[in-house]
Structure 1
Amino acid sequence: MSPDATPDPYADPLVFGQRLQILRTRKGMTRDQLGGLMGLSGSWVKGVETGRLKTPKLEVVLRLAELLRVRNLADLTGDQSVRIDLFTGPGHPRLAAVKAAVDAFPLDPSTEAPPLAHLEHRLARAWGARHTAPNHREVVGALLPDLIRDAQLAVRQAQQAANAPAAQAILSEVYSLAQFFVAYQPDAALLWRVAERGMVAAQMSEDPHALGVAAWLAAQAHRDSGHGHFDAADTVNLQTLAYLEPLLPDADDEVLAIAGALTFEAGYTAARRGETGAAWRYWDQARAMADRLPAGYYHPVTSFSRAVMGAHAVTIAVELHAGGESVRQAAASDAMTIPSRPRRARHRIEEARGYQLDGQPDVALATLAQAHEAAPETVQYNGYAKRIVLEEAESKSPGRRRRASELAVKLGMLAA
């Protein structure tokens, strides 16, 4: 993976020694204490934890598990014969069902598609669940398979009808919802398949809002792939903004909001490049667009609103590696004004990155705990959160190591 890419939460499997250190620290034991209970030395424990010594034999592993009160032996051992996936192993439990629905090709003429109004209502409810449920991936993952199949069927049956563009717009937004679920799962090919299908459906619909949402997600997928894809992200982003610009004087709130979201994304990519002036210039433009929206408006897909601009400022500062500015922006923003649980959790993660950059690791860990309270699944699948926890689990401060280890367990980072 490119060093400029968004951290992959599956990229760095926990080895036995790391697991032992996390579990020992969570238990509040020193290396000397654990070594003494094993009839060995603290230096032996250190050797195992740092990888200087090989993984012990089974009887020793079982004794360690007993002393550390490990409920599931896999928490300590993982599966040493294959690559270990962090957090939830092979991805979210509902990933296979979502993938099967994406890959299906409905041709059965005997099955009648639901009315478009019914699909729109179900889609709106799914977006609402995505923003309000703490376990939003689980909830959305349960709704997506039927939504995908029914939206595909609606498009097929509307091909010769006047409502074909509307059906394509719904299908595009269903794929957009699916992309939120598929992001940060261990199936990059599926992510790109969903993104591309969303773009095609949006183009078929000729709906400005659908096109904007699909482009917004495609630009993110390109940018998260690393520095070599930043130009592609900008191309999708800026061309879509150019398409939307003539519509903005008379645009409704949804179109104005997606244009604002795209404008911020251009600033986000500039910040990833280290282009300070361009990053903040785009942020200023996006803020001006947010100010044109009603005070309580909140875009149902991107979360773009007046309330989210403070969070966006934190993100820009963090991506520019400006620790002090990140903390200043975090102090000026109010996460509680963000109604979306996953977006609020992501903001907390960005704040935690800022605090770590600013040399405040204890505040960073506390902020990650707040993110977990807002939306556990957002933190669980976030590579930046994982990186902070693992780094602080090796801190020289015993208290910080313990807090980081406790958080690692809470986040499910030991799951095989």
Structure 2
Amino acid sequence: MPEHAHTSALTFGQRVRRLRERQGQTRPVLGGLVGRSAEWVKAIETGRLGVPRLPLLLRLADVLGVKDLAELTGEERLTASSYTKAAHDALPAVKGALTTYQFTSPDEQPETVESLLGRVRDAWSLWHGTGRHRTRIAVVLPDLLADLQHAARVYGGTDRRRVQVALAETYHLAQLFLSFQPAPELVILTGDRAMAAAQDADSPRAIACAAWYMNHVFRDAGERHEARVDLAMQAADLLNPDRDREDLARWGLLQLAAALSYAKIGKRGDAERYWDRANDAARRLGDTYAHPYLIFGRSMVDAYAITMHTDLVRSREATETADRIDVASMPSATRRSFHLIETARAYSLQNEPIAVVHLLKKAHRASPETARFNLFTRSAVAELADTGPAVVRDDARALRRDLGLPIAA
């Protein structure tokens, strides 16, 4: 029997169970991630409860890695991204830059390598800076990609390898721009191209960075946990963390990738073991160190402990960790905003809507476009604006307007 014929006969609860098991999640883990109990998940899966209201359904879809709500509901095709993801105005231009092939003459002299590398550094500064970071990076991405691609075709030897490393970094930027937008095929494309450029450069450091970003691609695509950890550890084995800070920072970043992957499937011991490795790398780098564009360092490792504990449904540990961390010291507005949102996610598990709204407002002030395109922010604000306690409803509705979210009919 064809796969689609089999799945079309499944009930909503059976679909939830099938997707949960595909993710390697237990009922307590799934329930915790959507703010419900393991018993609630069991009731859904056994048919004692029906399809939840849209905000909770969308949160369930996000946690289960579902892009099409039909995978959950069995109804006519209805993409979750239509409700949870916003498309940036510059998405068509970035898509065009990624899918247009320019065959410039090899006789046309490319820009110098040093100039190109400087433009890539400037682009990362735009990404991590305050204000509308996605809008700013979208302006420079198309020309930067085209110029790097041309240089990679013309230059040879060491210069070509340096350009390929810069090209991989620029694809990382494109992937970050595309994240949380309704363009999953482009996210996969940029991740794959970045890894290909890193391998062409024969650069273990570039491969390590590509592996970190491919972990995000694999997670969003619902790729199995084992593949994510295997990729991270293979890339980590190419590095020598005792050589210098560059290798150590990338090695620590990949330990963090493994920790987050284990946390997603509820394996606390393994998650904490790999987080300890990342923590040791951050300790060796020093309290004031932060990688220039990866931002790996003490503050990032500490902040990701919030995510790890939240994914493990250990909300008390997550909020206690958040109380000890000052994300203001992190040299990236986008990262500060993201980790404030992750802290809000932890407080949502404790059913503390006042803290959730307060933190999401802070995240929006820190980086408006980080908050606007974040799936948890969008679903939490939509839910609190409509059905939250009266004490937070006005603030949630104001934030809904700031985020440009539609008002439920």
Q: TM-score, normalised by structure 1?
A: 0.76
- Structure-2 change in CA distance of 1:361 and 1:219 (3 Å): same
Corresponding residue number in structure 2 for 1:240: 235
Does the CA-based 8 Å contact 2:386-2:393 persist in structure 1?
yes
Shift of 1:162: 4.1
In the alignment, the residues of structure 1 paired with residue 343 and residue 366 of structure 2 have an alpha-carbon distance, to the nearest angstrom, of 14
Corresponding residue number in structure 2 for 1:198: 194
AA matched with 1:190: L
In the alignment, the residues of structure 2 paired with residue 152 and residue 256 of structure 1 have an alpha-carbon distance, to the nearest angstrom, of 29
1:39-69 residue CA offsets vs partner (Å, 9 max, x unmatched): xxxxxxxxxxx99xxxxxxxxxxxxxxxxxx
- Structure-2 change in CA distance of 1:301 and 1:291 (3 Å): same
Q: Secondary structure at the match of 1:314?
A: helix
Structure 1, gaps ≥5 residues long? 6-49, 52-81
Higher relative contact order, structure no. (Cα contacts within 8 Å, ≥ 6 residues apart): 1
In the alignment, the residues of structure 2 paired with residue 232 and residue 291 of structure 1 have an alpha-carbon distance, to the nearest angstrom, of 28
Shift of 1:395: 3.1
Mapping for residues 86-165 of structure 1, pairs under 5 Å: 86=83, 91-109=87-105, 111-158=108-155, 160-165=156-161
Does the CA-based 8 Å contact 2:85-2:180 persist in structure 1?
no
Are 1:411 and 2:408 an aligned pair?
no
Shift of 1:385: 1.1
Does the CA-based 8 Å contact 2:85-2:182 persist in structure 1?
no
Q: TM-score, normalised by structure 2?
A: 0.77
Q: CA RMSD in A?
A: 2.3
In the alignment, the residues of structure 1 paired with residue 158 and residue 246 of structure 2 have an alpha-carbon distance, to the nearest angstrom, of 23
2:270 to 278, 301, 311: 278
Shift of 1:239: 1.1
Does the CA-based 8 Å contact 2:130-2:366 persist in structure 1?
no
Are 1:257 and 2:249 an aligned pair?
yes
Corresponding residue number in structure 2 for 1:320: 312
Shift of 1:105: 2.1
- Structure-2 change in CA distance of 1:343 and 1:118 (3 Å): same
In the alignment, the residues of structure 2 paired with residue 344 and residue 376 of structure 1 have an alpha-carbon distance, to the nearest angstrom, of 11
Corresponding residue number in structure 1 for 2:210: 214
Shift of 1:415: 8.8
- Percentage of pairs with the same residue: 32
Q: How many residues of Structure 1 are paired with residues of Structure 2 in the alignment?
A: 336
Q: Secondary structure at the match of 2:172?
A: helix
Does the CA-based 8 Å contact 2:128-2:334 persist in structure 1?
yes
Corresponding residue number in structure 2 for 1:395: 387
In the alignment, the residues of structure 2 paired with residue 376 and residue 396 of structure 1 have an alpha-carbon distance, to the nearest angstrom, of 22
In the alignment, the residues of structure 2 paired with residue 111 and residue 296 of structure 1 have an alpha-carbon distance, to the nearest angstrom, of 44
Q: Which runs of 4+ in 1 moved over 3 A?
A: 1-5, 82-89
- Structure-2 change in CA distance of 1:398 and 1:118 (3 Å): same
Mapping for residues 47-58 of structure 1, pairs under 5 Å: none
Does the CA-based 8 Å contact 2:353-2:388 persist in structure 1?
no
Are 1:302 and 2:294 an aligned pair?
yes
Structure 2, gaps ≥5 residues long? 1-15, 25-52, 55-77
Which protein has the larger Cα radius of gyration, Structure 1 or Structure 2?
Answer: 1
Mapping for residues 355-374 of structure 1, pairs under 5 Å: 355-374=347-366
Shift of 1:394: 3.6
1:377 to 357, 360, 369: 369
Are 1:174 and 2:175 an aligned pair?
no
In the alignment, the residues of structure 2 paired with residue 241 and residue 414 of structure 1 have an alpha-carbon distance, to the nearest angstrom, of 43
Shift of 1:334: 0.9
1:209-230 residue CA offsets vs partner (Å, 9 max, x unmatched): 211111100011101223x432
Shift of 1:86: 4.4
